[in-house]
Homo-oligomer: A and B are copies of this chain.
Amino acid sequence: MKEKLATPKSLKGAMMRGIRTTLLKLGSATKVELSETLGISFPTISKFLSEMESEGEILLAGLDDSSGGRRAKRYIYNPEYMLGLAIFLEKTETNYTIFNCVGESKEDGKAESVLMDSRLEALTRCIEGLLARFPKICSIAIGVPGSVDHGRVFYIPGYEQLQDFDLKGYYEDRFSVPVIVENDMNAAVLGFHHNGGMKEKQSLIYLYSGQNGPGAGIMVNGDIVRGRSFFSGEVSFVPLYDERNFREALEKEGESKKLQMAGEIEVDAVSRLVASFTAMINPHTIIFCKDEVEDAFLEKIAAASAAYIPSEHLPELIVSDWKKDYLFGLQHLGLNLMLS
């Protein structure tokens, strides 16, 4: 029954967070700039800033050119003050990145797939080792190919050792570092959203054709859509034709499930899916994986879907680098955790 109401106790944390994020967003700032963008009075900014400077969290970058009077001090956030760890677990391998607050990578690495391990020891030891070598790690973001509910891995076919396991709680207790766990496609759509210059509160669909058939990561109004039973984005099941759903339309007998996005059949199926999304949630953008489709394919889709929907309502179609977006999404989640 607790209402979420801004109480002065929580103000300090909010202010620190505000200072951190605006300083990182702007790259550098003077006290006046911070005060104005945050709507907090100059003396308060001053107090927090000097405290954070003495902690080493903030650095003095130098003096501004004068605009007629005393030169203002310009501060930057110390990007090395905190580090984040992003790990993504895939079928065949496990990748990780150590990154600083401006998203620069400090170390990338690859390990045996921990999903093959029947227990979690491989992953645990991997994290343990990294934390020992980089004691400044202040957040861990883990991406998994399965459904996640508040840090608990909910449904992850093929990797039963993680099924119904509270990954977040387990590692937070173990390492005393905040942890966030997210589904791979959700992380990717988040990453794409926050990469492209912060056009707020968009609706996006990230389409992919994975090993287990096609799927989608869905964001509506800037929020990840998980659905009632974590089934959202399972577009395989959309009934597009009299006798076939999306997955059946793409599958050809005898061929591998890995799709080749090229032929007319695929074009029509995907354009119907695009039309369906448009008529239902009218997203801003639909994103395809760079390694799965060609630009020419997108043009065909755009033309074909216009047969179903007036073209002014159709989304922008874009190809993007899935792995980059995924990584960026995990970094973003980790950064959010760190800066709070």
Contact = CB atoms under 8 A, between A and B. Distances in A.
A45 to B, nearest CB: 12
A308 B277 CA distance: 18
Contacts of A240: 239-240
A5 interface: yes
Contacts of A229: 282, 312-313
A236 interface: yes
A106 to B, nearest CB: 29
A301 to B, nearest CB: 14
Interface in A246-291: 246, 272, 275-284
Contact of A218 (B231, B246, B278, B280): B280
Nearest to A228: B284
In the A-B complex, the 6 residue pairs with the closest CB atoms: A227-B282, A6-B6, A237-B279, A232-B282, A231-B313, A231-B282
Given A6-B6, A225-B281, A236-B279, 16 more contacts: A3-B18, A3-B22, A203-B225, A218-B280, A220-B225, A221-B221, A221-B223, A226-B282, A228-B283, A229-B282, A229-B312, A233-B280, A237-B309, A239-B272, A242-B242, A280-B280
30 contacts: A2-B37, A3-B22, A5-B18, A5-B39, A6-B10, A6-B11, A7-B40, A203-B225, A221-B225, A225-B282, A227-B313, A228-B282, A228-B315, A230-B282, A231-B279, A231-B313, A232-B281, A232-B282, A233-B280, A234-B279, A234-B313, A235-B280, A239-B272, A240-B240, A241-B241, A241-B242, A246-B279, A276-B276, A277-B280, A281-B281
